[in-house]
Structure 1
């Protein structure tokens, strides 16, 4: 049996997955901004000592670009390169289309959020922030410090000693210190690492609102996909010193370029199989558990190669019907378990000969009974065939 409808004209969606989108809404004002004219661009940048191997990256103006990847992917090295702490061995870093080492007039420079734990615990909040604007005249310096502290909710705490601050106020102070010189681009290397999740994500949302309010271009490195999705206007996924895919969070979630990206950004069913037929935009796969289906062509090799078919649990339709009653492309299934999790229900199903499938549904809908008649289906546009990671 062949599962899922086939749908043509996928080329435009494929271009979108590769970062071909040219317009996006920015901020709460709903203004549209061209993404093909980034503020910063890395063009085939190599830096062996930082583990960077042919980085291609576009940083849109005024938004938050998140560098997402596992430890050792090259995130910190790329931030150091952007900050000017190192120069590329090959390739170019461009600022507004020109060399980054020759910035345009009025360029505000880069600001980097760095840990303040190495500073003396007896320094006051005001002194910690003032240290980065000592070159300014006194009245201007005072205004910059006051503005930065107010932005982070630290006004009124100027005399408080660093040693008296808890983990969250310390993070706020580190950000205020970096914002005091009013840089044009803010660089942050996993600034919320070490905080509990219950605190971390609300703080990320708070900072996202601040960045949008002041209109600063931000590059944020993290290994936390949830944090990336909360913050980003634009995500660049890194692996082994390369950008393997970049685009908006929705583009990467809806059209991942590989099994690695699909697994990084959200939950996925991963159905192992073998490629049977390869077409320009789609391929036919025989799953190890028996069924045959069509899926969008990811990075799979030719016929006979091993692959996985990835489909998001929320894309799986489940009916308390036989496959014939559900309609074309449906597969017979057996419901093994139902797990209620408040805002959604997880359905654990079996297809074919032992194939495990997860579906996610809002609570309250009509669902099959465990062991009763059931069928599943999904559109081939939302299923992707990728090279097997094994």
Structure 2
């Protein structure tokens, strides 16, 4: 290198230091499932939703460009942790988004806690994320196991389904959903008559379903998700379980799950959701934009949650004057109005829980549906303060400050 070039480089470097110029854009990392059982409900759609939010915000943050990058954590905590560390240390990622699979979300949350990086969880649902494991740089945006249990479990028990049997996926999310639903059912006057666990991505539920059928329970609760839920629903139909009088409760059902199994199997199921695309003009307008990029597929609550989380993060980061401290951005967000097509009556608590309205819905019959993706009837709006765990019930140590 010539003396002139060295001098020019030194000059540029000194100007950069003096002006605070950033060497590379701010990046948002969508850490999701791009190849496994959660692909349809999150996956590519979560990437699209994040990009839409950045575009709608204007594409820059504090005068610098914003980029979206994507990683496939393969539903493995070690893979997710490795990606998160590399992004934060080497690629100027200031926020990590989505996080399907609660075990991955919990592992990554420890990394973002240590680095003070914003974590915007839309798919990971364990209520532990805002309980004892809570972090000042996390926002759990869309749903959690407590809200699902308090919605579906409580409603079905109060309607007369008193005795419950659980088919529970054997990892963090399943156990949290079973525990939260058990508490909701028992508080409403019901009881648990039995339970059985199964590994993830089970292809044969026959032995589990036969145990549930033999229990005589009013409700067989599927404390699992995505591919496992769809497989269990299809095989329950083959066994004639609902025809014989027992109800099936899909404790976590996404719009893509209903689409996957079809209305003939899913009809009349009651479930709790944070979002439905066909609720009003605002949800329909955003969902149509999303569908144009997704070959006509309508968004799940996860996709809508990713968009909302990213957009509100960018607003809070801009308002706070910096983007590198996730905890400071969250503190700013707690003082802001969170109001968009996804969030109704929303606010961010100190434990990281975004409190907003949830919805108790019922899957339409084939005769009621007017076409593809017209799948839900909204039975009831559940106010956020009723849907989510109260501050008094939380084990989050941040609430003690």
Category of TM-score, reference length = shorter chain: under 0.3
With the length of structure 2 as denominator, give the TM-score of the two structures. Answer: 0.23
Which has more strand, going by share of residues? Answer: 1
Which has more helix, going by share of residues? Answer: 2
With the length of structure 1 as denominator, give the TM-score of the two structures. Answer: 0.23
The structure with the larger Rg is 1
